[in-house]
Structure 1
Amino acid sequence: METFLQALRSLGPMRLAVMGAVILGLIGFFIFLTTRLTTPQMELLFGELDSSDSARIVGQLESSNTAYELRANGSQVFVPSDKVAQLRLTMAEQGLSGGSIGYEIFDDADALGTTNFLQNISLIRALEGELVRSIKTIESVRAARVHLVLPRRELFSREKQQPRASILVKMRGATRLSNEQVSAVQHLVAAAVPGLIPSRISIVDDKGSLLARGFEDKDSPAAMAAKSEERRRAFENRLARTIEALLEKTVGFGKVRAEVTADMDFDLISTNEETFSPDGQVVRSTQSVEEQSQSRDAEANQPVSVATNLPDANLGGGEGGASSSTSENRTEETVNYEISKKVISHVRDAGIVKRLSVAVLVDGILSTSEEGETTYEDRSKKDMQFFGTLVRAAIGFDGDRGDSVDIINMRFEAQDMELDEALELFFGLDKNDMLRMAEILVLSIVAILVILLVVRPLVSRAFEAIPSGLGALGAEARLLAEGAAPALAAPGAPGEIPEAEMEKFEEMIDIERIEGRVKASSVKRVGEIVEKHPAEALAIVRTWMYQES
Structure 2
Amino acid sequence: MADPKQPAGTELARTAPATATQALAAMHQVRDRLMALPPRRRNLLLGGMLFVLAGCAALTWFWQRPDWRVLFSGLDARDVQTVSSELAGAGIPFQTTPDGSSLQVPADALDKARMEVAAKGMPQTGRLGFELFDKPNWVGSEFDERVNYQRALEGELEHTIASLGVIHSARVHLVLPQQTLFASQDKIAKASVVLKLRRASLTPEQIDAIRSLVASAVENLSPDNVTLVDAEGRQNLQAKGRGSAAHADMEQALEAKLIAMLEPLAGRENVRATVNIAYDDTTVERTDEVYDPAQSATLTMRKTEQISAPRPIPTGIPGTASNTPAAAPAASAQAAGAAAAAGTPPLLKEAAPVYPTAAAGASQTSTEEQGTYGVTRHVVHTEEGAGRIRRVTAAVVVNDRQITEGAGKTQHVTWKPRSPDEMKHLEQLAQAAVGFDERRGDQVVMSNVGFHANVPDIPLAPMAKLLEESRSFLAQQPSLLRTAMMGLIAFCVVLFVLRPVANQISAALKAPVLLPAGSPTGTTEVEPNALAEGTATPSLPTPEPHHATIGLPVLPIKSRTTLQAQAIFDHVSRQIAREPAQSTRLLEVWLGAQEGDA
The answer on 1:95 being equivalent to 2:110 is no
CA shift, 1:457, in A, is: 1.8
SS of the equivalent of 2:337 reads: coil
**Which residue of the other structure, out of 177, 193, 196, is the alignment partner of 1:166?**
193
Between the two proteins, what is the percent identity of the paired residues?
20
User: What does residue 462 of structure 1 align with?
Assistant: 505
Q: Which residue matches 1:145? A: 170
* C-alpha displacement of 1:251: 9.7
Residue 231 of structure 1: CA displacement?
5.9
Q: What is the CA–CA distance in structure 2 between the aligned matches of 1:251 and 1:69, rounded to whole Å?
A: 52
Q: How many residues align?
A: 383
- 1:198 is aligned to 223
Extract unaligned runs of 5+ from structure 1. 215-225, 282-295, 308-339, 363-378, 412-425, 470-497, 510-549
Which amino acid counterpart does residue 76 of structure 1 have in structure 2? S
Give the Cα–Cα distance (whole angstroms) in 2 for the partners of residues 432 and 71 of structure 1: 24
CA distance in 1 between counterparts of 2:123 and 2:108 reads 19
Residues 1:54 and 1:193: Cα distance change in structure 2 (over 3 Å): same
Task: Give, in whole Å, the separation in 2 of the partners of 1:128 and 1:231.
Answer: 30
Bigger-Rg structure (1/2): 2
Q: Indicate whether 1:26 and 2:69 are aligned.
A: no
Note the 1:149-548 alignment, pairs <5 A. Answer: 149-150=174-175, 160=187, 162-168=189-195, 170-171=197-198, 177-203=202-228, 210=235, 212-213=237-238, 227=241, 263-270=278-285, 299-302=335-338, 348-355=384-391, 401=441, 403=443, 436-465=479-508, 504-505=556-557
Q: Deviations over 1:73-101 (max 9, x none)?
A: 22211223333333333323322145455
Distance 1:163 1:33 in 2: 62
SS in 2 for 1:300: helix
Distance 1:5 1:103, change over 3 A: closer
Secondary structure of 2:556's aligned partner: helix
**Alpha-carbon distance change, 271 to 58 in structure 1, aligned in 2, over 3 angstroms:** same
What's the counterpart of residue 318 of structure 2?
none
State the Cα distance separating 1:454 from its structure 2 match.
1.0
Q: Counterpart of 1:418?
A: none
Report the Cα distance in structure 1 between the residues aligned to 2:450 and 2:434, rounded to whole angstroms. 20
Residues 259/443 of structure 1: CA separation in 2 closer, same or farther (3 Å cut): farther
Rounded to whole Å, the distance in 2 between the matches of 1:393 and 1:504 is 107
C-alpha deviations, 1:244-284, integer Å up to 9, x for none? x999x9699xxx9x9987643101235678999999x9xxx
Structure 1 stretch displaced more, 78-87 or 201-210: 201-210
Q: Check if 1:82 corresponds to 2:108.
A: yes
Computed over aligned residues only, the root mean square deviation of the Cα atoms, in angstroms, reads 6.2
Shift of 1:161: 6.5
Deviations 1:115-140 (A, max 9, x none): 777655654443234334434565x5
TM-superposed CA distance for 1:24, in Å, is: 3.0
Q: Decide whether the 8 Å contact of 1:54 with 1:98 is kept in 2.
A: no
Higher relative contact order (CA 8 A, sep 6+): 2
Asked if the contact 2:190/2:226 (under 8 Å) is kept, the reply is: no
Letter in 2 for 1:163: K
Q: 2:99 aligns with which of 50, 68, 73?
A: 73
1:60 to 55, 70, 86: 86
Q: CA deviation at 1:438?
A: 4.4
| 8 Å Cα contact 2:194-2:229 kept in structure 1 | yes
Which region of structure 1 is more displaced relative to structure 2, 23-32 or 266-275? 266-275
> Shift in Å at residue 504 of structure 1?
1.0
1:524: which partner in 2?
none
The letter for the 1-side match of 2:387 is: G
Q: Distance in 1 between matches of 2:147 and 2:217?
A: 17
- 1:265 partner amino acid: D
Asked if the contact 2:284/2:384 (under 8 Å) is kept, the reply is yes
Shift of 1:164: 2.0
Give the alignment of 1:90-129 within 5 angstroms.
90-97=116-123, 99-100=125-126, 103-106=129-132, 108-109=134-135, 111-112=137-138, 122-129=148-155
Q: 1:170, 1:237 → 2: CA distance? A: 29
TM-score, normalised to structure 1's length? Answer: 0.51
Cα deviation, 1:394-428, whole Å, max 9, x if unaligned, reads 977766515476999999xxxxxxxxxxxxxx99x
User: Secondary structure of the equivalent of 2:336?
Assistant: coil
The separation in 1 between residues aligned to 2:270 and 2:492, in whole angstroms, is: 42
Residue aligned with 2:338, SS = coil
- Matched AA of 1:196: L
| Maintained 8 Å contact 1:48/1:75 | yes
CA contact (8 A) 1:239 1:260 kept: no
* Corresponding residue of 2:317: none
CA distance in structure 1 between the partners assigned to 2:139 and 2:475 by the alignment: 47
Question: Which residue of 127, 130, 142 maps to 2:156?
Answer: 130
